[in-house]
Structure 1
Amino acid sequence: MKIRDIGVLSAVILIVAMLIIPLPPWMLSFLIIINISLALLVLLTAMNMQEALQFSIFPSLLLLLTLFRLGLNVSTTRAILSGGEAGNVVETFGTFVVGGNILVGLVVFVILIIIQFIVITKGSERVSEVAARFTLDAMPGKQMAIDADLNAGLISETDARQRREKVSNEADFYGAMDGATKFVKGDAIAGIIIVIINLLVGMIIGVVQMDLEFSEAVHLFSTLTVGDGLVSQIPALLISTATGIVVTRAASDGNLSTDITGQLLANPKLLYIAAGTIFLLGIVTPIELIYTVPLAGLLAFVAYRISHQKQEEIEELQEIEEEVATDNLKSPENVINLLNVDPIEFEFGYGLIPLVDAAQGGDLLDRVVMIRRQLALELGIVIPVVRIRDNIQLQPNEYRIKIKGNELAQGELLLDHYLAMSPGDDDSIEGIDTVEPSFGLPAKWITEQVKEEAEMLGYTVVDPPSVVSTHLTEIIRANASDLLGRQETKQLIDHLRESAPILVEELTPTPLSIGEIQKVLAKLLQENVSVRNLPIIFETLADYSKLTSDVDVLTEYVRQALARQITAQHAGSQPELKVLTVAAKVEKMIADSIQQTDHGNYLAMDPQDSQAILESIAREIERIAFFEQSPVILCSPAVRMYLRQLTERYFPQIPILSYNELESSIEIQSVGVVNVE
């Protein structure tokens, strides 16, 4: 244990000892001075903090100081009642401080009790209750604000984590302060009771046991009681004041002294008005000018100095800003910063500002938070922060989506309309013809007046925020593989290392590097296969990376290991899966066209044969689309990745599965065959 730890523990043990063991008067005097010093130190610390959390130990410290003060009260009471003395400090406060007048001392003590108990303690207790309640009520809003800033790119993940921790600590602190103020209130009540006991019981003991005259007993024990009350209530008053400062302190960039002087003297004109009022008070009333003129002059002089200083600061700030602006134009960093490319950008025209402005009811920032969470669960990767900004170069109602600086999609919204998509060939409702941006379906922008009619006719009616949210989700999902780089893969590996360190150590950095793992995960994401189940993926790579280093082959092994996941993805809860099978002739054509090289295998098929296969796939897809069925192509494991290479440019959304990627319990129903003449 460190010396400071031993010191704190020893102090707590001393407090307990004070309640049991009689202490000599000289030690009591020394401990009373320590009590006053600690109370003063706490008050000064409270005045110099910038926000409440900088003094987060205050609730616990308040309990210990209250216990220490009560321990002193018990010790001094024992000394007063047993020997008629409690040390030099108590005697000094009972005689010198109150001027030898016991009645004055009692009045001063009562006033201190009233100030502490009714004014400061009562107010601090009420403020603590309100602060605790409002802090807890404000937590959800603060969390949403943090998520919104994170999605807007204003803060990083680390900053967001720190701000969330601060919000949680604030709730804990004000909740603790709500209870800690009860200690101060109880301490004030205990002080009153102890004074009454010392006074009454002390006089009885003085007359009965010490054989003192009644007047002598009254004088002796009144002096000691008043002294004891003052030496305990003055630190208690300082602690109560510190409590009030802590619970009423709002976060700022300066301490209490800086804020008071900075805000109270912020407007020099008000100081001139105050100076004039004080000066007139000395003229129109019998108050002598010797009291009012110096104060009025001082206020006027301070107002003049502040006005002059502010003007100098404004001129100096303008000069600094001009110099900084000039230096930035010359600085090479000014150009380097322009090279940064955001992973995901959402730009919009000024007409779509209500989408992101919370004051106008916009909830796009909250929707982006939900999109990132949804895709993290679906795809198994952390979607980067979406940078949302307005662009005056766009049309007012236009928006566009960029991935790594490249524009991948754009659209147009009418905020005062709804997007209606027909379930069939019905075209009876009035509206502005358009195309649904996510899936390219024909649609119409309709007004709110015909919304109910459209819903009754079976139209799918969507509000503009949902339209853009769906579009953004589909674009991110379709380009997830581009968002997964080596740095993001390293984060996934580090996360897996926390739960499966041996598995990670066996796979990387040897036999597979982070780049090779990233390529495997990217190939899975390209075919919409979630990489959330990293343990199975790494187990498979660890098993087969000893046999081959070909990333394409390793990806096929991983897909087969994820058979249960892939089956559930395409079949859902259905006991059967309808597929397009590939004829043996076509599989043989593909197998014969595989070229093997030192750098891997690739498909080198005759253009006429590949064209014939693609046309056959297109015919079958068009045929089964008439029956509203989603096409899935099923082939043998040996040719699956080569068939995917052949079709990915023309049919990127069509899943290509192998027999080994389906669970044996699923029933396969062929609804067509891909064949060539």
Structure 2
Amino acid sequence: MAGVALLRRADPRAALLPAAILMLVLLMVVPVPAVLLDGFFILNIAISLVVLMVAINTQKPLDFSAFPTVLLFATLLRLSLNVASTRVVLVHGHEGTAAAGHVIEAFGAFLVGGDYVVGIFVFAVLMIINLVVITKGAGRVSEVAARFTLDALPGKQMAIDADLNAGLLTADEARKRRLEVTTEADFHGSMDGASKFVKGDAVAGVLILAINIIGGLILGTVQHGLGIGEAARVYLLLAIGDGLVAQVPALLLSIAAAMVVTRVGSELDLAGQVTSQFAQSASWAPVAVILALLAALPGMPHLVILAAAAGAGWIAWKLRKPAAAAAVAEAPAPSATIEWSEVSDVAPASLDIGFGLVPLVDEARGALLMARITGVRRQLSKQLGFVLPPVRVRDDLALAPFAYRIAIAGVTLGEDLAFPDDALAIEAGPVEAEIPGRPVRDPAFGLPARWIDPAESDLATAAGYTVVDAASVIGTHLNHLLSSHAHRLIGQDEVQAMLDTLADSAPALAAGLVPKLMPLATVTAVIQRLVEEAVPVRDTRTIIAALIAHAARSPDPAELTELVRPALGAAIVQTLAGLREAVAAIAIDPALENLLSGAVRAAPGSPWPFDPELGQRVGEAIGAAAEALMADNRRFAIVTTPIVRRPLWALLRVRLPQPVVLSFTEIPDDRTVDVVAVVGGAAVPDMQGA
């Protein structure tokens, strides 16, 4: 009883769709009298006209969201009528041109006009217009619209979330806008597929025309005894009429589809939009002038062209006054200023992501990447000794869906791909078995890796891989670049903040340096050079005290940095080895060290004082000595004389990852040094002659 009551309460319109589908099937398999065919053909034309009128009066494509489904059923109706009419033409065509109904006869007689060859060519032209121009163009527009709509979907959803968080939208309004965005993406995707129906229908019309002509000629001459001329007259007229009565609605639907997919959202319908955009005097006045000049050419129909020129001129004159009045009423106040915010980018560090990575920063999904970035900033700030500025994260539709780009001070330093639904298995050492996946390189350190299914993570870990998620991959890459380029993130404001913090505990010390002994810019340059070599600057008291002690010796930040480093030696060595561990060191042979010292003295202050060939050999030798230590993941330092230290570091920074180069004066007396290799002498026998 409950089921019966439910059926009674159901909308009677719900039964129309199954009935319509059943009717389409019957048209294909059951013979239909010519009288009914006439009615169905007129119904088909009426439906196409209604669809076209609705498409013209929509303000935006989503207003006609049922169009893809309507297009499907209209195409099926037309194909069903083609099947039914083909049966009637081939079975009863020998009875005369009215055998398939008066609609087909009238369309055929109108198009043929007594000349069957001309009728076929005109029909072919209509088919070309529909298939090659309108249908193909609408299909391409549908494809591009679907692609760009899907690409913009994450950005639109983020904008809705931002408006909701800012209080500009209520929860119900945000829910409604999300539904609109999703429906728009679904609509354009459906239109991309529905355009294929129109194209297939046009191709089917050509094939059905050929079948009617060839089949009619064979049946008329062989089975019904008609002469070839009489058979051609009857069956060509019926075939062309049948094709035309189907192609007219097809052409109307193709135009409607093109109108829908090419529409741009507006408060006006198509007629209002076109009228408002053509109602410009500046567009019509040149047309009138050009037409008047064209009328002056010999042999032209002067009266016709001059009448058109006069009409264009009259339209321009009529539109001139309203446009001028509107311009005066709506003209904004002129502005001659340009704000710095329009051209500057104030973010010291930025991370741009493609829309495929938006879920990693979505708060509804935990914002894993944002939490990772916060952890990276906190860890590096403690390690370096100053507060790293925030990292600006934003989506960039110009990037590939799963691409990201890291920039510091406006300079792109790293970019790669990350896949939120996968895990990255890194070959940090030997592995027992290869895990299936997409082979890549770890973006931070360049190690062999592969993106795998997260379900294979335990198997990959057991095989010796290091498995991390996409947020950790991006976070590690960001951590590596921030630590390598941290000196670009510290400026005078940050150094002044360090001095202000020091003033709370040691006011006399903080006030005794800047600006009495040296400017803030010099202190900043010294700290930047320390940070560039990954020297912790947490101990601001020691740095400032050392600068005060050596301020009279030199105003050069480079020399001051080398004078400050011994005071920080204990902190530097602490990053290389534990309290009871020996410091692993690569030493320089005395003869080679004298050679390098001589090169530095010969070019004082030069960042590249070494001969290129000598520098290449030294770099290769130190790199070879460091391979075993790096393979064991062991921290080490290259130890040399103070004069050679900084130039040698500049030489090695492009060959070794974050090299630590110490002078003898920077190693505390109570620390044990384990010299694991000596570079020079036998290691590079021809260096003395370089």
TM-score (norm 1): 0.50
Once the two structures are superposed, the pairs formed by residues 436-475 of structure 1 within 5 Å of their partners are 450=528, 453=531, 456-458=534-536
Distance 1:40 1:215 in 2: 37
4-13 vs 91-100, which deviates more?
4-13
Match of 1:284 in 2: 297
Name which of 418, 434, 442 aligns with 2:497: 434
- Is residue 228 of structure 2 the alignment partner of residue 214 of structure 1? yes
Distance 1:79 1:189 in 2: 21
Match of 1:64 in 2: 73
- Is residue 64 of structure 2 the alignment partner of residue 55 of structure 1? yes
Which residue identity lines up with residue 258 of structure 2 in the other structure?
Answer: G
Name which of 292, 308, 314 aligns with 1:295: 308
Distance 1:243 1:91 in 2: 29
Q: CA distance change for structure 1 residues 151 and 83 in 2, over 3 Å: closer, same or farther?
A: same
- Per-residue CA deviations over 1:465-485 (Å, capped at 9, x if unaligned) read xxxxxxxxxxxxxxxxxxxxx
- Per-residue CA deviations over 1:79-103 (Å, capped at 9, x if unaligned) read 1111112111000001134323222
Distance 1:265 1:201 in 2: 54
Name which of 162, 165, 185 aligns with 1:171: 185
Which residue identity lines up with residue 163 of structure 2 in the other structure?
Answer: D
- Is residue 47 of structure 2 the alignment partner of residue 34 of structure 1? no
Which residue identity lines up with residue 14 of structure 1 in the other structure?
Answer: M
Distance 1:182 1:351 in 2: 45
Give the CA deviation at 1:315.
6.3
Match of 1:658 in 2: none
Preserved contact between residue 135 and residue 258 of structure 2 (Cα < 8 Å)? yes
Match of 1:305 in 2: 318
- Is residue 268 of structure 2 the alignment partner of residue 254 of structure 1? yes
Distance 2:122 2:154 in 1: 48
Q: CA distance change for structure 1 residues 128 and 431 in 2, over 3 Å: closer, same or farther?
A: closer
- Is residue 208 of structure 2 the alignment partner of residue 145 of structure 1? no
Q: CA distance change for structure 1 residues 430 and 8 in 2, over 3 Å: closer, same or farther?
A: closer
Q: CA distance change for structure 1 residues 446 and 222 in 2, over 3 Å: closer, same or farther?
A: farther
Distance 2:342 2:289 in 1: 53
Preserved contact between residue 112 and residue 237 of structure 2 (Cα < 8 Å)? no
Give the CA deviation at 1:288.
2.6
Kindly, what percent of the aligned residue pairs are identical?
39
Match of 1:184 in 2: 198
Distance 2:22 2:190 in 1: 24
Match of 1:521 in 2: none
Preserved contact between residue 94 and residue 226 of structure 1 (Cα < 8 Å)? yes
Match of 2:254 in 1: 240
**Secondary structure of 1:433's partner?**
helix
Preserved contact between residue 435 and residue 441 of structure 1 (Cα < 8 Å)? no
- Per-residue CA deviations over 1:277-305 (Å, capped at 9, x if unaligned) read 11111122322322012211111111111
TM-score (norm 2): 0.49
Q: CA distance change for structure 1 residues 441 and 133 in 2, over 3 Å: closer, same or farther?
A: farther
**Secondary structure of 2:496's partner?**
strand
Distance 1:357 1:56 in 2: 45
Which residue identity lines up with residue 15 of structure 1 in the other structure?
Answer: L
- What CA RMSD, in Å, does the superposition of the two structures yield over aligned residues? 4.5
Q: CA distance change for structure 1 residues 91 and 436 in 2, over 3 Å: closer, same or farther?
A: farther
Match of 2:54 in 1: 45
Give the CA deviation at 1:176.
1.3
- Per-residue CA deviations over 1:574-621 (Å, capped at 9, x if unaligned) read xxxxxxxxxxxxxxxxxxxxxxxxxxxxxxxxxxxxxxxxxxxxxxxx
Name which of 273, 278, 282 aligns with 2:286: 273
Give the CA deviation at 1:49.
1.2
Could you list the runs of 5+ residues in structure 1 that have no partner in the other structure?
Answer: 322-348, 378-414, 421-428, 462-677
Distance 2:500 2:185 in 1: 44
Once the two structures are superposed, the pairs formed by residues 361-510 of structure 1 within 5 Å of their partners are 432-434=495-497, 450=528, 453=531, 456-458=534-536
Give the CA deviation at 1:350.
7.8
Give the CA deviation at 1:149.
3.3
Which residue identity lines up with residue 141 of structure 1 in the other structure?
Answer: G
Give the CA deviation at 1:138.
1.8
Distance 1:447 1:151 in 2: 41
Match of 2:426 in 1: none
Which residue identity lines up with residue 272 of structure 1 in the other structure?
Answer: A
Match of 1:598 in 2: none
Match of 1:11 in 2: 20
Distance 1:74 1:355 in 2: 68
Q: CA distance change for structure 1 residues 198 and 375 in 2, over 3 Å: closer, same or farther?
A: closer
Distance 2:91 2:60 in 1: 47
- Per-residue CA deviations over 1:303-343 (Å, capped at 9, x if unaligned) read 1111212234456779xx9xxxxxxxxxxxxxxxxxxxxxx
Distance 1:131 1:436 in 2: 56
Q: CA distance change for structure 1 residues 355 and 218 in 2, over 3 Å: closer, same or farther?
A: same
Name which of 162, 179, 187 aligns with 2:176: 162
Q: CA distance change for structure 1 residues 459 and 167 in 2, over 3 Å: closer, same or farther?
A: farther
Distance 1:449 1:242 in 2: 68
Which residue identity lines up with residue 286 of structure 1 in the other structure?
Answer: G
Q: CA distance change for structure 1 residues 100 and 56 in 2, over 3 Å: closer, same or farther?
A: same
**Secondary structure of 2:497's partner?**
strand
What is the total number of aligned residue pairs between the two structures?
Answer: 387
Once the two structures are superposed, the pairs formed by residues 306-321 of structure 1 within 5 Å of their partners are 306-313=319-326
Preserved contact between residue 530 and residue 537 of structure 2 (Cα < 8 Å)? no
Distance 1:436 1:102 in 2: 97
- Is residue 217 of structure 2 the alignment partner of residue 198 of structure 1? no
- Per-residue CA deviations over 1:36-59 (Å, capped at 9, x if unaligned) read 111111122112212111111111
**Secondary structure of 1:284's partner?**
coil
Q: CA distance change for structure 1 residues 272 and 437 in 2, over 3 Å: closer, same or farther?
A: farther
